[in-house]
């Protein structure tokens, strides 16, 4: 019996609703499998915690998390209580960096039973592989002068190590899929980091001769995700571009609420963190309306990463069966609550055995 110790951080807003829902699904999946179990330890680190303690997590927070197999996180941010850059850099982005979760994997595909906002959605099935530790998300920079002379400078840092690492991950993933890698660039407008990105891409692709490649500027690529999402297999992107492309990926699936993500420490030296694409959605929090599918699909990615891919696929099947039966939340055209959706998925899972 494999026992996995999982650190749980529901975070803010709907995170507190969808995380427990996904834990129930994962427990049910473990039960059915018989060969694994989860031990969940929940940490109350969020914006409320910040208001009480002045930090998003205790000083030994990172050390504590390092003792777990994986981290299962909901969403962070309550801009009305704490400025976003404070809450995110104090928790979500901090964990991504300190745990060296340098690759963020985010699939987008047309699910059975989901209505895409696209008129003729082709059967797209793509994965965005996002650099997750550097790039445009840097805290290097600051301000100078005051009043009308004031200005802010923000520096992006792209290392060869980080850039190569995410690209190699993308190619290795593509080798197991349809063998096509798209690079998201903007070397026509951004004149140091992006030409560097292109150069590294040209170097790395030589090691994966089986894969076909193409580069698109991010503006065109965003448009292509709307016009012809089926044209993509694996897309490799910088931190910011990956962020934008994956919300778009959620949109063309039918809702950001279903989009899953995995922040991977690919070397497995520290825990990875499984956290959906959507945010804390303060406007609908606490009402039982939140779509749990993004968090549940994210749980499937955790199963995959821990070596239980078959079980992960069962979870996705149960999600699709639930969708096809019309049991869904309001954001995707249904009338069901978070718990009705969750219960139906668990029922489907149990019926499979």
Ligand X SMILES: CC(C)[C@H](C(=O)O)[C@@H](O)C(=O)O
Residues whose CB is less than 8 angstroms from the CB of residue 3 and which lie 6 or more positions away in sequence, other chains included: 36, 37, 38, 39
Q: Are strands 180-185 and 212-217 parallel, antiparallel or unpaired?
A: parallel
Round to whole Å and give the CA distance between 72 and 80: 25
Contact 36, 4 (CB under 8 A): yes
Stretch of 205-213, 243-251, 265-273, 345-353 lying at the interface with its own copies (CB under 8 A): 243-251
Answer with the entry of its own copies, ligand X, none that 141 interacts with (C-beta below 5 to 8 A by kind): its own copies
Contact 211, 205 (CB under 8 A): yes
Identified binder of its own copies from the candidate list 44, 58, 67, 189, rule CB under 8 A: 189
Contact 7, 43 (CB under 8 A): yes
Answer with the entry of ligand X, its own copies, none that 271 interacts with (C-beta below 5 to 8 A by kind): none
Q: How far is the CB of 312 from ligand X (least distance, A)?
A: 21
Distance of CA 77 to the CA centre of its chain: 15
Kindly state whether residue 62 participates in binding its own copies, applying the rule CB under 8 A. Answer: no
Stretch of 23-31, 54-62, 245-253, 284-292 lying at the interface with its own copies (CB under 8 A): 245-253
Size of the site for its own copies (CB under 8 A): 70
**Residues engaged in binding ligand X (CB under 6 A):** 77, 88, 92, 188-189, 219, 243, 277, 279
10 Å CB burial of residue 307 (0-12, 13-18, 19+) is exposed
* Cβ distance to ligand X smaller for residue 259 or 314: 259
DSSP secondary structure code for residue 291 in this structure: -
* Cβ distance to ligand X smaller for residue 61 or 334: 61
Round to whole Å and give the CA distance between 83 and 247: 21
Task: State the residues that interact with its own copies by CB under 8 A.
Answer: 77, 83-85, 87-89, 93, 115-120, 136-139, 141-143, 147-161, 164, 186-197, 217-220, 222-224, 226-227, 239-240, 243-244, 246-248, 250-252, 256, 279
């Amino acid at each position: 019996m494999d026992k996995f110790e999982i650190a749980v951080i529901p975070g803010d807003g709907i995170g507190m609703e969808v995380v427990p829902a996904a834990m129930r699904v994962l427990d049910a999946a473990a039960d059915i499998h018989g060969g694994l179990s989860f031990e969940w330890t929940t940490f109350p680190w969020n914006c409320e915690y910040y208001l009480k303690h002045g930090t998003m997590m205790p000083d030994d927070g990172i050390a504590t998390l390092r003792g777990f197999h994986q981290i299962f996180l909901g969403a962070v941010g309550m801009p009305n209580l704490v400025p976003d850059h404070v809450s995110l850099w104090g928790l979500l982005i901090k964990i991504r960096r300190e745990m060296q979760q340098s690759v963020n994997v985010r699939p987008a595909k047309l699910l059975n039973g989901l209505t895409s906002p696209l008129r003729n959605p082709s059967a797209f099935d793509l994965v965005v592989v996002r650099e997750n530790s550097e790039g445009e998300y840097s805290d290097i920079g600051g301000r100078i002068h005051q009043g009308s002379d004031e200005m802010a400078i923000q520096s992006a840092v792209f290392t060869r190590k980080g850039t190569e690492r995410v690209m190699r991950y993308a190619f290795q993933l593509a080798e197991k899929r349809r063998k096509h890698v798209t690079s998201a660039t903007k070397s026509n407008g951004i004149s140091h980091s992006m030409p560097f990105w292109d150069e590294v891409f040209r170097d790395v692709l030589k090691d994966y001769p089986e894969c076909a490649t193409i580069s698109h500027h991010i503006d065109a690529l965003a448009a292509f995700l709307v016009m012809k999402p089926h044209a993509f297999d694996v897309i490799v992107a910088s931190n910011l571009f990956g962020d934008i492309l994956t919300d778009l990926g959620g949109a063309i699936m039918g809702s950001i609420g279903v989009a899953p993500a995995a922040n991977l420490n690919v070397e497995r030296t520290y825990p990875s963190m499984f956290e959906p694409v959507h945010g804390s959605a303060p406007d609908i929090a606490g009402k039982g309306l939140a779509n749990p599918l993004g968090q549940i699909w994210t749980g499937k990615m955790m199963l995959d990463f821990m070596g239980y891919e078959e079980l992960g696929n069962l979870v996705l099947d149960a999600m699709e069966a639930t969708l096809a039966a019309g049991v869904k939340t309001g954001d995707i055209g249904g009338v069901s609550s978070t718990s009705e959706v969750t219960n139906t998925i668990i029922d489907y899972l149990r019926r499979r055995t």
